């Protein structure tokens, strides 16, 4: 599916006004093409990018932007394009673990953050402003999201109990009912170990051993009969809304829309939320002119103000430290977005740091074991 | 045809000359020519289709299936290491010797320059979990390796080693590259590295190689018997003679950088014998590791073995896929046969209406139909609600009909039903009603007439429908993914995962090849038992 828009009529005027402040800072792009193909996830997420980044950029530069919603199959498609020597995408939105994979495969271009990305308004270089979130040489972080739990607030069988921590998921005696968990080992294995008494810092050390894997799977086995396994992020909100599941994991933005936009009796359980990142990569193998345009766009779209603007449309936290104070209200609902950010101090009292390097190494192996366990 | 056989038999009996046509040509040749022209014309007519199928179907699929054994990435990325590693005894319990590490340093220097080392890391990681970060980390640190000890050693023996002339002389010797396998490979790496770094081809008359190439030369010389070096000193090339005369007996003084220790410092993975065994095992350009993985086996030091219980997956999924496809085919026959019968025996007007009802779901999006089943079948869904309301089951006893095998069978039977009904219908329509009347007029009861007369006539339709439904369902993956939960997924779900998520295309290709072979084998069995001529699609 592709949506093409250019510089037209009223929207262009308003966008120009909106982006007027940025105009002075945006240097012209030298030796660049006038067309840009951006690949993202579609839906509300793509919308937030179009509103916060692409429209102002088009208005300032007159570049025609083509939106392609193929991010969920970006990795195999990029590999196929690379093998066919015909890369048609300029900028691709992927999760961090995919960025690492693409970087390893030589399918994404390496980026020098300080050279090629905008510094913070106070002059802090980009590498410091993004900090630890630059998890790969090819990855330009954009948002922080988290995988966390939502639960129904009207379950009669629970009596007066409300889930307070993540281990409620494993407590089927106090909190009976179906759970929705993602059909992959990532996150589930970590939560299982944490709730089996493993200290947060030791999780990956334990998981590196065969005994640790068995321990995690055994813990998951205690609730296996009560789990509905999902593979698309939209499933959990639906299962919760239908009452088919009483507690389930998904991306925090999905839960935000179930709770705030659709007003379902669902609440967030931020405990042990697992931070993950989403951001841009530029494919390897672009012509010089296209590469320049892609870099020019990226520098604009990941500056402090643009990242803060995006959070008006979706409840994901901006990846720059300098953007956090600029987060405002939801563009349509008019509610403050800060309390809905996974990075908000009140929500982030107990978070779990996802180890990209470890999963890049062990994902295939653990996935085989996990799937084999599921099939038993 | 018969004319030519008669002609040949005539000639063989009488021994006379072949019969001739009017224009004096032998009849046999003229006939053959006419036939050949016919055949060529026929071939010419189907050529566009043939070429289309070849280009858009056979070649890509063949290319994809070939990936299940293809493995040139290891040798292409680490050519020197693979060569040096060939002589290492993997079961010795010892790490490969210094020459292998020197070759690795050299290969990695080039690989990180052209950024292909991580790609190799992720390939090896499929068979050796953890090795991908070893390559990723090493790529960053490889530039910092000490590599100039050997170079300094050579120059200390004879300053001429610091000149391009020495290398030109060495490379023009008769013993090059035969006796200098490691050095020759290293020189190639050096040329490629230079091209990538300096963006221009290397001029061997002005440059000497980097330290890694001197290290390779040292290891080549160190592995030669002393007599060989003396022999080299008798070359025709005077520069070379001078160089090797100096070297004789002094090889031991050259020294090396102990790459083995340096690599162990970069990442302890390089001191892990398992990793080296994996590299050696995966060195050949054609490997069976993907196929082994696809049947839950692996190659260990004791040969091919089944994987431990908790890692077996694919055989189970293959069996399940075939088993469930058979159930789905069976359900389609049970449900589709009466519908087809009804269609064939109603008036044209009414049967058209029913046909539309059969086809209507067929025209609806697959995802919509699958989601509709979710609404119907889930525990808080329509069917369960109705049953609870009617008092058939109580609130606690709500049936689990989705996210398991039942869900997949129900949803897929629904989706594939038209593929059974349509061939059955077209076969039933051709069965003349007089057959049944004749049977009954001869005293057969209704059921006897049906089973002895009508049913055997519909078998070709059942055959065609079953083949269609079975082959379609064996490769399905969207529906099982959505409604299959954990017990209702097919092997195709894993193929899709390896294509789109893990990027392990080799394993996906191996699984796909096995699936293709299974389908062909079943088709062959079917042909032997039922006979493919008995299948009618319409």
Confidence of residue B171 (pLDDT cuts 50, 70, 90): confident
CB contact (8 A) between residue A362 and residue B504? no
Q: Which residues of B touch A365 (CB under 8 A)?
A: 129
Q: Is B400 on the interface with A (CB under 8 A)?
A: no
Window 115-144 of B: residues touching A by CB (8 A cutoff) are 115-116, 118-119, 121-122, 125-126, 129-133, 136
Taking 50 as the threshold, does the pLDDT of residue B5 lie above it?
no
DSSP letter assigned to residue B305: E
The Cα A303–Cα A296 span in angstroms is 11
Separation in Å, CA of B514 to nearest CA in chain A: 18
pTM above 0.80, yes or no: yes
Q: Extract the tokens encoding B527.
A: 């042909």
Contacts of B400 (CB under 8 A, 6+ apart): B379, B406
Q: What is the pLDDT of residue A302?
A: 94
The Cα B429–Cα B419 span in angstroms is 16
Taking 80 as the threshold, does the pLDDT of residue B190 lie above it?
yes
pLDDT tens digits, one per residue of B290-299:
999 999 998 8
Mean pLDDT of chain B: 88
Instruction: Give the CATH number of domain B314-534; options: 2.40.40.20, 3.50.30.10, 2.20.28.270, 1.10.3720.10.
Output: 1.10.3720.10
How crowded is the C-beta side of B514, counted as CA atoms within 13 Å?
25
State the best of A207, A363, A371 to mutate against chain B, taking most chain B CBs within 10 Å.
A371
Confidence of residue A20 (pLDDT cuts 50, 70, 90): very low
CB contact (8 A) between residue A367 and residue B122? no
Separation in Å, CA of A121 to nearest CA in chain B: 31
Q: What is the pLDDT of residue B158?
A: 84
Pairing status of strand A227-230 against strand A317-318 = unpaired
Cβ pair A282, A109 in contact under 8 A: yes
What's the longest Cα–Cα distance across chain B?
Answer: 113
CB contact (8 A) between residue B125 and residue A364? yes
Confidence of residue B439 (pLDDT cuts 50, 70, 90): very high
Minimum CA–CA partner of A371 in chain B: B313
Q: What is the pLDDT of residue A39?
A: 95
Q: What is the pLDDT of residue B501?
A: 84
Q: Is A368 on the interface with B (CB under 8 A)?
A: yes
Q: What is the pLDDT of residue A23?
A: 46
Q: Which residues of B touch A242 (CB under 8 A)?
A: 378, 380
Confidence of residue B257 (pLDDT cuts 50, 70, 90): confident
Average pLDDT over residues A324-328: 87
Cβ pair A179, A195 in contact under 8 A: no
Average pLDDT over residues B505-517: 94
pLDDT tens digits, one per residue of A5-17:
443 333 444 444 4
The Cα A365–Cα B126 span in angstroms is 8
State the best of A110, A359, A372 to mutate against chain B, taking most chain B CBs within 10 Å.
A372
Q: Which residues of A touch B126 (CB under 8 A)?
A: 364
Give the helix, strand, coil percentages of chain A, each rounded to 5. Answer: 45, 20, 35
The Cα B400–Cα B176 span in angstroms is 74
Please state the domain extents for chain B.
Answer: 2-66, 76-145+258-281, 149-253, 314-534
* Nearest-by-Cβ selection for B122 from A105, A217, A243: A105
Torsion of CA B468, B469, B474, B479, to 10 degrees: 130
Inter-CA distances, B332 with A34, A187, B462, B469, Å: 55, 40, 10, 8
pLDDT tens digits, one per residue of A172-188:
999 999 999 999 999 99
Q: How many CB pairs under 8 A join A and B?
A: 85
Q: Is A374 on the interface with B (CB under 8 A)?
A: yes
The Cα B156–Cα A365 span in angstroms is 50
Confidence of residue B382 (pLDDT cuts 50, 70, 90): very high
Q: Extract the tokens encoding A301.
A: 């779209």
Separation in Å, CA of B498 to nearest CA in chain A: 9
Which of A96-105, A357-366, B229-238, B402-411 shows the lowest per-residue confidence on average (mean pLDDT)? B229-238
With a pLDDT cut of 70, the percent of chain B lying above it is 96
Residue found under tokens 């071939």:
B43
CB contact (8 A) between residue A183 and residue B499? no
Q: Is B437 on the interface with A (CB under 8 A)?
A: no
Instruction: Give the CATH number of domain A147-276+344-375; options: 3.40.1000.10, 3.40.50.720, 3.10.50.40, 3.40.190.10.
Output: 3.40.190.10
Domain with CATH 3.40.190.10 in chain A: 2-144+277-339, 147-276+344-375
Average pLDDT over residues B282-286: 94
Confidence of residue B174 (pLDDT cuts 50, 70, 90): confident
Q: Is A285 on the interface with B (CB under 8 A)?
A: no
Taking 60 as the threshold, does the pLDDT of residue A21 lie above it?
no
pLDDT tens digits, one per residue of B123-150:
999 998 889 889 988 887 888 888 888 8
* Nearest-by-Cβ selection for A360 from B132, B379, B504: B132
Q: Which residue, among A201, A191, A135, has the nearest Cα to A165 in the 3D structure?
A: A191
Separation in Å, CA of B254 to nearest CA in chain A: 37
pLDDT tens digits, one per residue of B75-102:
999 999 999 999 898 888 889 989 999 9
With a pLDDT cut of 90, the percent of chain A lying above it is 63
pLDDT tens digits, one per residue of B209-246:
998 999 998 998 888 887 777 777 777 777 778 888 88
The Cα B244–Cα B231 span in angstroms is 9
Cβ pair A336, A76 in contact under 8 A: no
State the best of B310, B320, B507 to mutate against chain A, taking most chain A CBs within 10 Å.
B310
Bridge partners, residue B20, by sequence = B26
Q: Is A66 left (phi over 0), alpha (psi -120 to 50) or beta?
A: beta
Q: What DSSP string runs through B68-124?
A: TTB-THHHHHSHHHHHHHTT--GGGSS---HHHHHHHHHHHHHHHHTT-HHHHHHHH
SS3 B296: coil
More confident residue, B414 or A345: B414
Q: Is A375 on the interface with B (CB under 8 A)?
A: yes
Q: What DSSP string runs through A101-162?
A: HHHHTT-B----HHHHSPPPTT---HHHHHGGG--STT-EEEEEEEEEEEEES--GGGTT--
* Nearest-by-Cβ selection for B130 from A73, A361, A372: A361
CA angle (A11 as vertex; A5, A12 as ends), nearest 5: 80
Q: Which residues of B touch A374 (CB under 8 A)?
A: 486
State the best of A70, A76, A356 to mutate against chain B, taking most chain B CBs within 10 Å.
A76
Q: What is the pLDDT of residue A18?
A: 45
Confidence of residue B538 (pLDDT cuts 50, 70, 90): low
Q: Which residue, among B393, B406, A246, has the nearest Cα to B384 in the 3D structure?
A: B393
Q: What is the pLDDT of residue B19?
A: 77
Average pLDDT over residues A220-247: 91
Q: Which residues of B touch A363 (CB under 8 A)?
A: 502
Q: Extract the tokens encoding B281.
A: 């095992």
Minimum CA–CA partner of A224 in chain B: B486
Contacts of B298 (CB under 8 A, 6+ apart): B127, B289, B292, B304, B305, B307
CATH of domain A2-144+277-339: 3.40.190.10
Separation in Å, CA of B74 to nearest CA in chain A: 14
Taking 80 as the threshold, does the pLDDT of residue B105 lie above it?
yes
DSSP letter assigned to residue B243: H
Q: What DSSP string runs through A265-286?
A: SEEEEEEEEEEEEEEEE-BTT-
Minimum CA–CA partner of B490 in chain A: A375
CB contact (8 A) between residue B487 and residue A242? no
């Amino acid at each position: 599916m592709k949506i093409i828009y250019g510089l037209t009529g009223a929207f262009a005027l308003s966008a120009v006004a909106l982006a007027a402040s940025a105009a002075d800072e945006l240097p012209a792009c030298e030796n660049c093409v006038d067309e840009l193909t951006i690949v993202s996830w579609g839906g509300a997420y793509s919308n937030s990018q179009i509103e916060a980044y692409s429209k102002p950029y088009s208005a300032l530069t007159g570049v025609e932007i083509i939106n392609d919603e193929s991010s969920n199959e970006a990795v195999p498609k990029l590999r196929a394009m690379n093998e066919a020597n015909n890369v048609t995408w300029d900028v691709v939105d992927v999760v961090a673990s995919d960025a690492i994979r693409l970087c390893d495969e030589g399918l994404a271009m390496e980026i020098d953050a300080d050279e090629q990305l905008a510094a913070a308004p106070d002059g802090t270089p980009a590498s410091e402003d993004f900090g630890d979130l630059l998890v790969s040489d090819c990855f330009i972080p954009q948002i922080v999201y988290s995988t966390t739990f939502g639960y129904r607030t009207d379950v009669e069988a629970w009596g007066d109990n409300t889930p307070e921590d993540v281990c409620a998921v494993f407590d089927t005696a106090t909190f009976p009912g179906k759970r929705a968990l993602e059909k992959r080992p990532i996150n589930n294995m970590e939560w299982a170990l944490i709730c089996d008494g493993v200290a947060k810092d030791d999780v990956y050390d334990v998981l590196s051993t065969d005994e640790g894997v068995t321990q995690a799977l055994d813990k998951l086995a205690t609730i296996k009969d009560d789990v509905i396994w999902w593979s698309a992020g939209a499933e959990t909100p639906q299962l919760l809304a239908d009452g088919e599941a009483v507690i389930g994991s998904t991306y925090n933005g999905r839960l935000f829309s179930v709770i705030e936009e659709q007003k379902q009796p669902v609440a967030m359980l931020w405990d042990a939320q697992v931070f993950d990142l989403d951001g841009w990569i530029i494919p390897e193998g672009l012509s010089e002119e296209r590469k320049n345009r892609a870099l020019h766009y990226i520098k604009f779209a990941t500056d402090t103000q643009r990242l803060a603007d995006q959070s008006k449309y979706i409840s994901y936290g901006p990846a720059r430290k300098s953007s956090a104070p600029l987060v405002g209200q939801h563009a349509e609902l008019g509610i403050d977005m800060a309390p809905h950010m996974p990075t908000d101090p009140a929500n982030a009292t107990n978070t779990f740091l996802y180890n990209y390097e470890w999963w890049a190494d062990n994902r295939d192996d653990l996935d085989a074991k996990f799937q084999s366990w599921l099939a038993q | 045809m018969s004319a030519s056989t008669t002609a040949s038999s005539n000639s063989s009996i009488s021994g006379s000359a072949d019969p001739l046509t009017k224009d004096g040509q032998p009849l046999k040749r003229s006939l053959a020519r006419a036939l050949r022209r016919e055949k060529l014309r026929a071939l010419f007519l189907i050529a566009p289709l043939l070429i289309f199928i070849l280009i858009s179907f056979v070649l890509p699929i063949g290319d994809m299936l070939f990936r299940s054994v293809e493995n040139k990435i290891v040798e292409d990325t680490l050519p020197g290491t693979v060569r040096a590693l060939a002589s290492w005894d993997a079961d010795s319990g010892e790490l490969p010797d210094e020459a292998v590490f020197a070759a690795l340093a050299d290969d990695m220097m080039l690989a990180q320059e052209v950024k292909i080392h991580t790609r190799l890391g992720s390939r090896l990681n499929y068979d050796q979990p953890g090795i991908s970060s070893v390559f990723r980390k090493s790529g960053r640190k490889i530039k910092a390796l000490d590599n100039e000890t050997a170079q300094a050693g050579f120059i200390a023996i004879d300053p001429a080693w610091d000149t391009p002339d020495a290398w030109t002389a060495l490379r023009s010797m008769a013993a090059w590259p035969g006796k200098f396998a490691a050095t020759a490979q290293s020189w190639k790496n050096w040329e490629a590295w230079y091209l990538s770094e300096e963006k221009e081809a290397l001029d061997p008359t002005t440059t000497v190689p980097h330290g890694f190439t001197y290290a390779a030369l040292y290891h080549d010389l160190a592995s030669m018997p002393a007599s060989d070096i003396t022999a080299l000193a008798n070359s025709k090339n005077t520069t070379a003679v001078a160089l090797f005369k100096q070297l004789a007996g002094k090889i031991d003084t050259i020294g090396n950088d102990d790459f083995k220790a340096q690599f162990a410092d970069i990442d302890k993975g390089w001191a892990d014998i398992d990793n080296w065994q994996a590299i050696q095992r995966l060195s050949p350009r054609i490997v069976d590791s993907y196929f082994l993985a696809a049947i839950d086996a692996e190659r260990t030091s004791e040969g091919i073995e089944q994987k431990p219980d908790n890692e077996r997956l694919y055989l189970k999924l293959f069996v399940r896929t075939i088993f469930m496809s058979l159930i789905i085919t069976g359900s389609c026959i049970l449900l589709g046969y009466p519908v087809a019968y009804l269609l064939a025996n109603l008036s044209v007007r009414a049967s058209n209406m029913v046909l539309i009802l059969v086809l209507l779901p067929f025209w609806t999006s697959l995802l919509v139909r699958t989601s509709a089943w979710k609404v119907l079948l889930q525990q808080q869904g329509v069917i369960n609600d109705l049953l609870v309301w009617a008092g058939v089951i109580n609130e606690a006893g709500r049936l689990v009909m989705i996210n398991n095998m039942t869900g997949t069978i129900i949803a897929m039977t629904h989706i594939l039903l038209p593929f059974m009904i349509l061939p059955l219908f077209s076969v039933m329509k051709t069965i003349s009603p007089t057959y049944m009347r004749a049977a009954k007029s001869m005293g057969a009861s209704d059921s006897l007439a049906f089973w002895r007369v009508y049913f055997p006539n519909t078998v070709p339709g059942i055959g065609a429908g079953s083949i269609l439904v079975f082959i379609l369902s064996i490769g399905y993956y969207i529906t099982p993914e959505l409604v299959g939960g954990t017990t209702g997924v097919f092997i195709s779900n894993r193929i899709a995962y390896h294509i789109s998520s893990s990027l392990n295309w080799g394993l996906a290709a191996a699984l796909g090849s096995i699936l293709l072979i299974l389908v062909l084998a079943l088709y062959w069995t079917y042909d032997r038992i039922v006979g493919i001529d008995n299948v009618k699609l319409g």
